[in-house]
Amino acid sequence: MVSRKNINTLLASAVVATMAGGIGGAHAMGSDQEKCYGVVKAGANDCGNAAKTHACAGHAKTDADGGEWLGLPKGTCEKLVGGSTSPIEAKAKDAAEEVKDPAE
C-alpha cells in the first residue's frame, strides 16, 4: 500500500515538473514563430533584449520597447501596430541608456 506521504511527495514533484516545463517552454520558439519587437507590455517579454541589458523573460521596463520581443506566429508581427521583426533601434538604444550606471 502506498502511504499518504508518498502520494503527497509524488503530487508535489508532478507540480514542480509541470511548472519547470512551462518556464523552459516560454523561451523555445518553433519554426513557425518569429521574434516581434516593439509590441511588448512592461514585464511581459519572452527573453533577453536587443540591447543585451538583460537575458531574462519578464524584465521589460516599459511598454512598446523596441528592443524587447515576443515570440508570435509568423506573419502576425507586421500586422500589429508598432510591430517589427527586427529591433527598433531608437527605442532599444533609449532603454539601454536608462539602465546604465550613472557612475560610468
* Confidence (pLDDT) at 25: 42
Q: How many CB atoms lie within 10 A of CB 87?
A: 20
* Confidence (pLDDT) at 94: 53
43-102 pLDDT, tens digit each = 888 888 888 888 888 888 889 899 999 999 999 999 999 999 999 875 555 555 555 555
For 90, residues 6+ apart whose C-beta sits below 8 A from its C-beta are 66
d(CA 80, CA 88): 14
Q: How many CB atoms lie within 10 A of CB 89?
A: 14
Higher pLDDT, 100 or 29: 29
